[in-house]
Amino acid sequence: MDEVDSAIVRHLQMDGRLSNRALAEKLGIAPSTCLERTRLLHKRGIIQGYKAQVSLRALNRPVQAMVSTQIRPLRRDVVAAFEQSVTQLPEVVSVYTMAGSDDFLVHVTAQDIDHLHAFLLDQFTNRREIAGFRTAIIYQHLTNPVLDPLPPTAEQQRA
Protein backbone atom coordinates (compact mmCIF):
# COMPACT_ATOMS: atom_id res chain seq x y z
CA MET A 1 0.00 0.00 0.00
CA ASP A 2 2.28 2.77 -1.22
CA GLU A 3 1.35 6.21 -2.49
CA VAL A 4 0.39 4.87 -5.93
CA ASP A 5 -2.02 2.31 -4.49
CA SER A 6 -3.64 4.90 -2.33
CA ALA A 7 -4.06 7.23 -5.30
CA ILE A 8 -5.76 4.40 -7.21
CA VAL A 9 -8.13 3.87 -4.30
CA ARG A 10 -8.86 7.58 -4.09
CA HIS A 11 -9.64 7.91 -7.78
CA LEU A 12 -11.81 4.81 -7.92
CA GLN A 13 -13.81 6.00 -4.93
CA MET A 14 -14.63 9.15 -6.85
CA ASP A 15 -15.28 7.42 -10.17
CA GLY A 16 -15.65 3.67 -10.07
CA ARG A 17 -15.85 3.43 -13.85
CA LEU A 18 -12.68 5.36 -14.53
CA SER A 19 -10.93 3.44 -17.30
CA ASN A 20 -7.66 1.75 -16.55
CA ARG A 21 -5.94 3.83 -19.21
CA ALA A 22 -7.23 7.13 -17.86
CA LEU A 23 -6.26 6.11 -14.36
CA ALA A 24 -2.78 5.12 -15.51
CA GLU A 25 -2.36 8.45 -17.23
CA LYS A 26 -3.41 10.38 -14.12
CA LEU A 27 -0.82 8.50 -12.10
CA GLY A 28 1.92 8.68 -14.71
CA ILE A 29 2.34 4.92 -14.99
CA ALA A 30 1.81 2.39 -17.80
CA PRO A 31 -1.68 0.89 -18.25
CA SER A 32 -0.35 -2.60 -17.69
CA THR A 33 1.23 -1.58 -14.41
CA CYS A 34 -1.92 0.17 -13.33
CA LEU A 35 -3.99 -2.89 -14.13
CA GLU A 36 -1.67 -5.07 -12.08
CA ARG A 37 -1.88 -2.70 -9.12
CA THR A 38 -5.63 -2.49 -9.27
CA ARG A 39 -5.96 -6.26 -9.48
CA LEU A 40 -3.83 -6.66 -6.40
CA LEU A 41 -5.99 -4.17 -4.54
CA HIS A 42 -8.96 -6.40 -5.32
CA LYS A 43 -7.17 -9.58 -4.36
CA ARG A 44 -6.11 -8.10 -1.02
CA GLY A 45 -9.69 -7.09 -0.32
CA ILE A 46 -8.89 -3.40 -0.18
CA ILE A 47 -11.25 -2.68 -3.06
CA GLN A 48 -14.31 -4.80 -2.36
CA GLY A 49 -16.32 -3.98 -5.44
CA TYR A 50 -18.13 -1.24 -7.32
CA LYS A 51 -21.64 0.09 -6.94
CA ALA A 52 -23.75 2.46 -8.97
CA GLN A 53 -24.98 5.40 -6.91
CA VAL A 54 -28.70 5.74 -7.40
CA SER A 55 -30.87 8.75 -6.65
CA LEU A 56 -33.43 7.88 -3.99
CA ARG A 57 -35.61 10.64 -5.33
CA ALA A 58 -35.53 9.21 -8.84
CA LEU A 59 -36.38 5.83 -7.34
CA ASN A 60 -39.46 7.48 -5.87
CA ARG A 61 -38.29 7.13 -2.29
CA PRO A 62 -37.75 10.69 -1.12
CA VAL A 63 -38.53 10.11 2.56
CA GLN A 64 -35.72 8.82 4.75
CA ALA A 65 -35.70 7.99 8.44
CA MET A 66 -33.42 6.52 11.07
CA VAL A 67 -35.07 4.02 13.35
CA SER A 68 -33.36 3.46 16.72
CA THR A 69 -34.30 -0.03 17.79
CA GLN A 70 -33.97 -2.18 20.89
CA ILE A 71 -34.43 -5.93 20.78
CA ARG A 72 -34.87 -8.44 23.59
CA PRO A 73 -33.47 -10.89 24.39
CA LEU A 74 -30.13 -9.56 23.21
CA ARG A 75 -28.86 -12.99 22.28
CA ARG A 76 -26.49 -13.81 19.46
CA ASP A 77 -29.05 -15.74 17.43
CA VAL A 78 -31.74 -13.08 17.85
CA VAL A 79 -29.33 -10.31 16.85
CA ALA A 80 -28.13 -12.20 13.78
CA ALA A 81 -31.66 -13.03 12.67
CA PHE A 82 -32.75 -9.41 13.07
CA GLU A 83 -29.80 -8.04 11.08
CA GLN A 84 -30.23 -10.59 8.36
CA SER A 85 -33.95 -10.19 7.81
CA VAL A 86 -34.10 -6.42 8.18
CA THR A 87 -31.21 -5.76 5.81
CA GLN A 88 -33.08 -7.50 3.04
CA LEU A 89 -36.29 -5.50 3.31
CA PRO A 90 -36.61 -3.23 0.28
CA GLU A 91 -37.24 -0.15 2.43
CA VAL A 92 -34.01 -0.65 4.36
CA VAL A 93 -30.83 1.02 3.13
CA SER A 94 -28.52 -0.10 5.89
CA VAL A 95 -28.36 -1.37 9.44
CA TYR A 96 -25.90 -0.22 12.09
CA THR A 97 -25.39 -2.61 14.99
CA MET A 98 -24.59 -0.45 17.98
CA ALA A 99 -23.17 -0.37 21.46
CA GLY A 100 -25.17 1.75 23.90
CA SER A 101 -28.82 2.16 24.70
CA ASP A 102 -30.00 1.47 21.14
CA ASP A 103 -29.10 -1.92 19.71
CA PHE A 104 -29.57 -0.90 16.08
CA LEU A 105 -29.94 2.10 13.85
CA VAL A 106 -31.95 1.21 10.78
CA HIS A 107 -31.83 3.59 7.83
CA VAL A 108 -35.10 3.29 5.93
CA THR A 109 -36.60 4.96 2.86
CA ALA A 110 -40.16 5.28 1.69
CA GLN A 111 -42.34 6.90 -0.90
CA ASP A 112 -43.94 9.23 1.66
CA ILE A 113 -44.75 9.53 5.32
CA ASP A 114 -47.78 7.27 5.06
CA HIS A 115 -45.75 4.45 3.58
CA LEU A 116 -43.06 4.93 6.22
CA HIS A 117 -45.70 4.65 8.93
CA ALA A 118 -47.21 1.57 7.33
CA PHE A 119 -43.80 -0.03 7.00
CA LEU A 120 -43.02 0.51 10.67
CA LEU A 121 -46.39 -0.82 11.78
CA ASP A 122 -45.98 -3.90 9.59
CA GLN A 123 -42.32 -4.70 10.16
CA PHE A 124 -41.47 -3.30 13.57
CA THR A 125 -44.56 -3.11 15.75
CA ASN A 126 -45.42 -6.71 14.91
CA ARG A 127 -42.13 -8.33 15.80
CA ARG A 128 -41.83 -10.07 19.13
CA GLU A 129 -38.11 -9.47 19.57
CA ILE A 130 -38.44 -5.70 19.08
CA ALA A 131 -38.72 -4.21 22.55
CA GLY A 132 -39.04 -0.65 21.31
CA PHE A 133 -38.09 1.82 18.60
CA ARG A 134 -37.97 5.54 17.90
CA THR A 135 -38.16 7.07 14.45
CA ALA A 136 -36.36 10.23 13.38
CA ILE A 137 -36.78 11.80 9.97
CA ILE A 138 -33.65 12.45 7.91
CA TYR A 139 -33.65 15.78 6.10
CA GLN A 140 -30.43 15.17 4.22
CA HIS A 141 -27.69 12.60 3.93
CA LEU A 142 -24.26 13.79 2.85
CA THR A 143 -21.39 11.43 2.12
CA ASN A 144 -17.68 12.01 2.10
CA PRO A 145 -16.57 11.21 -1.44
CA VAL A 146 -13.15 9.89 -0.47
CA LEU A 147 -11.90 7.87 2.47
CA ASP A 148 -8.15 7.96 2.60
CA PRO A 149 -6.04 5.20 4.02
CA LEU A 150 -4.27 5.85 7.29
CA PRO A 151 -0.61 4.92 7.75
CA PRO A 152 -0.28 1.30 8.83
CA THR A 153 0.09 0.33 12.47
CA ALA A 154 3.31 -1.20 13.79
CA GLU A 155 1.54 -4.55 13.89
CA GLN A 156 0.51 -4.31 10.24
CA GLN A 157 4.04 -3.23 9.31
CA ARG A 158 5.43 -6.50 10.61
CA ALA A 159 2.98 -8.62 8.56
Partner DNA sequence: ATCCCGTGCCGAACTAAATTCGGCCTCTCG
Partner DNA sequence: CGAGAGGCCGAATTTAGTTCGGCACGGGAT
Distances from the Cα of 136 to the Cα of 65, 90, 109, angstroms: 5, 19, 12
Which residue, among 13, 20, 118, 27, has the nearest Cα to 65 in the 3D structure?
118
Output the smallest distance, CB 3 to its own copies, in A: 14
Chosen from its own copies, DNA, none, partner binding at 116 (C-beta under 5 to 8 Å by type): none
**Residue 12 in the binding site for its own copies (CB under 8 A):** yes
Which residue, among 61, 71, 121, 68, has the nearest Cα to 91 in the 3D structure?
61
**Residue 157 in the binding site for its own copies (CB under 8 A):** no
Please name the helix (run of DSSP H) or strand (run of DSSP E) that holds residue 115, with its range, or none: helix 113-120
Query: Residue 10: CA atoms inside 13 Å, Cβ hemisphere, count?
Result: 12
Output the smallest distance, CB 100 to DNA, in A: 43
Q: Which residues bind DNA (CB under 7 A)?
A: 4, 19-22, 29-33, 35-37
Considering only residues 22-61, where is the footprint of its own copies by CB under 8 A?
Answer: 44-56, 58-61
Output the smallest distance, CB 76 to DNA, in A: 41
* Contact (Cβ atoms closer than 8 angstroms) between residue 159 and residue 17: no
Site residues (CB under 8 A) for its own copies?
9, 12-17, 44-56, 58-61, 66, 83, 87-90, 92-100, 102, 105, 109, 111, 136-145, 147-153, 156
